[in-house]
Amino acid sequence: MKRSIGKRIVLLFSITLVLTILASAALGFSSAYSAELEQNRAVGRSAAYITSEILDLINLDLIMDPQNDLAYDLARMQLRTVCRSLSLMYLYVYTVDGDEVRHYVMTAASDDELDEVVREGLGLGTVSREPLHEQERVALAGGESDSRFLVNNRYGKTSVWTTPYFSEDGTVAALIGTDVSVEVSNDAIVKQFLVRVLPVTAFLIIAFLVLYYLLRRRLIRPLHAVAARMEQFDPSTKNEPLSIRSQDEIQQIADAFEKMSGDIRTYIRNIETITAQQQYARAQLDVARRIQYGMVPASFHDRRDGLDVCGLMRPAKEVGGDFYDCFLRPDGQYCALIADVSGKGIAGALFMALTKNLVRERIMHCEDPADALNSVNDDLCAQNPEGMFVTLFAMLIDPQTGVVRCANAGHNPPVLLKRGSAAYMKPKPGIALGLFPDADIETETMTLAPGEGVLLYTDGVTEAVNTEKTFYGTERLLMLLQTLDRTDSRAAVTAVEESVDAFFAGCEQFDDITVVAVYAAGADGRTALPLTLDAFGPVRQRILSECEGSANAKKIVLACEEAFVNIVQYANATEADYRVRREGDLLTVELRDNGARFDPLSEPLKQDDDFFSMDEGGLGIRFIRSIASDAKWNYTDGRNVLTLVFRL
Amino acid sequence: MTIEKIEENGAVTLKLAGWLDTQAAALLEEQIEALDAGTPSLVLDLAALEYTSSAGLRQIVAAHKKVDGQLTLKNVQPEIRDVLEMAGFLKRLHVVS
């Protein structure tokens, strides 16, 4: 604390005190001075009056007569008596001639030694040519000056008072000078001054000390006590109440502080309780979230005869409501579905769990997907006190024929994927499940040719928002899917995930992102193969992903490329397809074409000696036979079928 | 597939990188056809070559003919070496490390 109130009060009081003392000293001095001046004047006037009487009585002319010593001595004796009785230093009578020269008549002094000196030194007949001073001029004119006149000469320092002596005819016959010792006069002034100033000063100092003591006791100490209590405030311990009973503002502060610290303790206790409750609730929510996402795999990939399915769900920070499900029905139909539950939090999680199990159970048991969804809707409407709902798109695909039956319950329209093109499907919108008892969802049918697919997604994809507050949007999704050059479900899902990630660019993901891609590989898992060299790209990717990590991967690609290039360049085919199947560490690749009947395996192999004709061809077949652990060719239904088996 | 051509005192080095498949072989073919008839020597630097098909190998044979056998293969990676071996090329071609 740099500036305490105590120090400030002391400083303020000291300044006030000094100023007061200075003011009272100035006043006291001026009053003592004027009192002394008045005293001098009164004494001078009295002395002059008495002296005038003496001069009148003895007669000035007789006194000034050099022959009449008696009158002179008598007058001087009388003057000395006056001088002594009035404590004057000198009392003298003199005349002033026309040349302003003083002619002394007589001078008396109180002090005996001085009197001896001035009896002759300033006696009858002595003159002084000192210039006349103001008092003398005023006195010569018959008046009396108010101003003090100080003389400092060989007779000492005196304060002079000059009065005229009038003759009987009223003219100024002589001047009477009364001198008071300046020393005496000053002593008197000082004495007067002290008498006036000292008691005031002493009173002020005592008053200040008393006041300061009271301030300290009543204000500063209680303030310190309150401040110390505030500094040491610890919400966890309860202090004894402050013992300030001053019934004033300080006690008001102390009481307010006591109340406030009590309130703070209460608030802290409340906050601790609330925080504990929140932690508990959050832990519960986390458990709900784990259970919920445990029901939906983060990623899923299934490649089977005729189908290539990949699913992905990336949950948002809070519990969202997306889910997808992919499963094979006992009748060989494959179901892929995607859904978005309206609510979030625990309610959403519970509703999602209920819906997911219900939907799977109904689709397993109803032949028709719309029947299944309508039945789910009836159940949800009957058991839905919170009025929650779920949008859902379900498709049942026959892997052998590529026939798809789908049912839409108010979900985003899926995208139909063909090689090099993509378009939004236009299913009947339907209505979200759980809202109205008669949803009347209808089944629609279409067929996927080999290599065609469907991409299902939730609005977490199209309504992803980036830092510039723009939506990812359906257009962007479509443009992305149009650039896909592979009929590979995992590639499609990964492309969407990476594109949305790039779009977010560090922004927080607010909603679950869920994508499911289903490609029909055609009956028996065959995929159509365009007869251009660049069509081998997807085949190569497919082989590489099937034998991921195998040291033989590139050799297998090499053998397949050679076989494919032979078809494109020499077979004169118009249609071709392929299928890839992995069983254990064996990879089977089957290539079919409707070109000229040709058995590549029966061709005689070129020998190494034919090096210089190698640039004419023949190497490819040599590679196929070297790399494949088993190779078969047959000609069935107008098609060459080359089956290559590789060991990974 | 990228091909970088370096010429030094008439001797040519082609650095092949990436996948030399049937389509990419056309690029190599262009390079080899563009070689001057009297090119004293040709080096194929295969350090960054990841894959070759028979079409690529055919271009290597073509190159060998074009420079009258003054062809050297350099920095042949194990996977490429296997393919050359299968084709029976290792006996005929000058291969350094």
Between A420 and A191, where is the model more confident? A191
Q: Which two tokens stand for residue B32?
A: 């080899």
Rounded to an integer, what is the distance from CA B2 to the centroid of its chain? 12
Give the rounded percent of residues in chain B with a pLDDT score beyond 70: 99
| Contact flag A615-B61 (C-beta cutoff 8 Å) | yes
Contact yes or no for A541/A560 (Cβ under 8 A): no
Write the secondary structure of A82-111 as one string of H (helix), E (strand) and C (coil): HHHHCCCCEEEEEEECCCCCEEEEEEEECC
For residues A65 and A102, what is the distance between their CA atoms, to the nearest angstrom?
Answer: 17
Question: Residue holding tokens 């072989």?
Answer: B25
In this model, does residue A239 exceed pLDDT 80? no
CATH code at position B33: 3.30.750.24
Class of domain A40-191 as given by CATH: alpha beta
Of the candidates B22, B54, B91, the beta carbon closest to that of A533 is on: B22
Alpha carbon separation from A45 to A42, A80, A148, A484 (Å, rounded): 5, 16, 14, 134
In angstroms, the separation between the Cα of residue B9 and the nearest Cα of chain A is: 28
**Residue-wise pLDDT tens digits, B73-95:** 999 999 999 999 988 888 888 99
Contacts of A555 in chain B (CB under 8 A): 79, 82-83
Interface contact A544, partner B, CB < 8 A: no
**Residue A254: what pLDDT?**
84
Q: What is the predicted pLDDT for the residue at A499?
A: 92
Average pLDDT over chain B, rounded to whole?
A: 90
pLDDT in tens, A48-105: 889 888 888 888 888 888 888 888 888 889 899 999 998 888 999 999 988 889 999 9
Which of B20, B21, B54 to probe by mutation at the A interface, max A CB count within 10 Å? B54
CA distance B42 to A530: 37
* Number of neighbours of residue A315 by Cβ within 10 angstroms: 20
Does an H or E element contain B59, and which?
Answer: helix B54-66
Quick check: A15 pLDDT over 80? yes
A41: DSSP letter:
H
In angstroms, the Cα distances linking B47 to A380, A467, A585, B97 are: 64, 44, 30, 10
Query: What is residue A465's DSSP assignment?
Result: B
Query: Residue A201: pLDDT above 60?
Result: yes
What span, in angstroms and rounded, lies between the C-alpha atoms of A327 and A316?
25
**pLDDT at residue A319 above 60?**
no
| DSSP one-letter code for A220 | I
Per-residue pLDDT at A608 exceeds 70: no
CB contact under 8 A, B57 and A619: yes
The CATH superfamily assigned to A529-647 is: Histidine kinase-like ATPase, C-terminal domain (3.30.565.10)
Choice between A646 and A39, residue whose per-residue pLDDT is larger:
A646
> How many Å apart are CA A521 and CA A401, to the nearest integer?
10
Distance (Å) from the C-alpha of residue A538 to the closest C-alpha of chain B?
14
Confidence of residue A314 (pLDDT cuts 50, 70, 90): confident
Which residues of chain B are within 8 Å of residue A626 when distances are taken between CB atoms?
86
Interface A–B counts its CB contacts (< 8 A) at 62
pLDDT, one tens digit per residue, over A364-373 is 999 999 999 9
Residue B30's pLDDT band (cuts 50, 70, 90): very high
pLDDT above 60 for A581: yes
pLDDT at A531: 87
Least-confidence region, from A181-190, A281-290, A309-318, A520-529: A520-529
User: Residue A616: pLDDT above 70?
Assistant: no
> At A463, is the pLDDT very low, low, confident or very high (cuts 50, 70, 90)?
confident
CB contact under 8 Å between A612 and B65, yes or no, is yes
Tokens representing B15 are 């650095």
Q: How far is CA A305 from CA A325, A401, A417, A442, in A?
A: 19, 11, 19, 28
Domain count, chain B: 1
The two structure tokens encoding residue B31: 């390079």
> Looking at the predicted structure, is the pLDDT value of residue B51 above 60?
yes
Per DSSP bridges, beta strands B71-74 and B94-96 are parallel
Q: What is the SS3 assignment for A1?
A: coil
A402 pLDDT exceeds 70? yes
Average pLDDT for residues A306-327, to the nearest whole number? 84
Instruction: Give A-chain residues touching B65 at CB under 8 angstroms.
Output: 612, 615
The per-residue pLDDT for A270 is: 93
Matching residue, tokens 């309860």: A238
As a whole number of angstroms, the distance between CA B26 and CA A333 comes to 46
pLDDT at A318: 66
Give A308's pLDDT tier (boundaries 50, 70, 90). confident
A504 pLDDT higher than 70: yes
Average pLDDT over residues B40-45: 92
Residue A37 pLDDT > 90 = no
Residue A523: the pLDDT is 53
Is A620 close to B82, i.e. CB distance below 8 A? no
Q: CB–CB of B86 and A626 under 8 A?
A: yes
Give the per-residue pLDDT at A204.
85
Over residues A522-546, the mean pLDDT reads: 80
Q: Best of B22, B32, B66, B68 to disrupt the A interface by mutation (most A CBs within 10 Å)?
A: B22
The pLDDT score that the predictor gives to residue A406 is 95
Range of the domain at B56: 2-96
Mutate to test the interface with A, among B29, B53, B64, B80 (most CBs of A within 10 A): B53
Closest CA to A338 of A406, A287, A435, A426: A406
> Tens digit of pLDDT for each residue in A104-124?
999 999 888 888 888 888 888
Which residue in the set B51, B55, B62 is minimally distant from A554, CB to CB? Answer: B51
How high is the pLDDT of residue A320? 67
Handedness of CA B61, B64, B69, B72 (dihedral sign): negative
Percent of chain A exceeding pLDDT 90 equals 31
| H-helix segments, A216-344 | 221-231, 249-294
Residue A307: pLDDT band with limits 50, 70, 90? confident
| Percent of chain A residues topping a pLDDT of 70 | 96
Q: Hey, what amino acid is at A493?
A: V
Interface check for B77 against chain A (CB to CB < 8 A): the answer is no
* Range picked from A225-229, A318-322, A538-542, B63-67 for highest mean pLDDT: B63-67
Q: What is the pLDDT of residue A494?
A: 92
In this predicted structure, the answer to whether residue B25 has a pLDDT above a threshold of 70 is yes
Task: Quickly state the pLDDT bin for A183 (edges 50, 70, 90).
Answer: confident
Arithmetic mean of pLDDT, A151-158: 85
Is the model's pLDDT at A240 over the cut of 80?
no
Cα gap A401→A446, rounded to integer Å: 11
Residue with tokens 């310190």: A224
More confident residue, B72 or A151: B72
Q: Is the dihedral of CA A537, A447, A423, A497 positive or negative?
A: negative
Residue with tokens 């290599």: A451
Is pLDDT at A194 greater than 80 in this prediction?
yes
Higher pLDDT: A150 or A406? It is: A406
- Residue A515's pLDDT is 95
The closest CB to that of A615, out of B52, B62, B91, belongs to B62
CB spacing of A565 vs B53 below 8 angstroms: yes
Q: Which residue has the higher pLDDT, B38 or A459?
A: A459
Average pLDDT, chain A: 86
Q: Test A620 with B54 for CB contact under 8 angstroms.
A: yes
Query: Which chain B residue lies closest to A622 (C-alpha atoms)?
Result: B87
Place of tokens 């009272």: A24
Q: Taking CB atoms and an 8 Å cutoff, what residues of chain B touch A623? A: 54, 83, 86-87
Domain ranges of chain A: 40-191, 295-525, 529-647
Question: What is the rounded CA–CA span in Å between residue A552 and residue A84?
Answer: 149
Burial class (CB in 10 A: 0-12, 13-18, 19+), A643: middle
Closest CA–CA distance from residue A620 to any residue of chain B (Å): 6
Give the Cα separation of A108 and A620 in Å (integer).
162
Name the pLDDT band for A510 (thresholds 50, 70, 90): confident
**In CATH terms, is domain A295-525 a member of 3.60.40.10?**
yes
CB within 8 Å: B88 and A608: yes
Q: What pLDDT does residue A615 have?
A: 66
Q: Contacts of residue A611 in chain B, CB cutoff 8 Å?
A: 61, 88-89, 92
Question: Could you give the angle at the alpha carbon of A490 between the alpha carbons of A331 and A539, nearest 5°?
Answer: 95
**Across the interface, do B61 and A614 touch by the CB < 8 Å criterion?**
yes
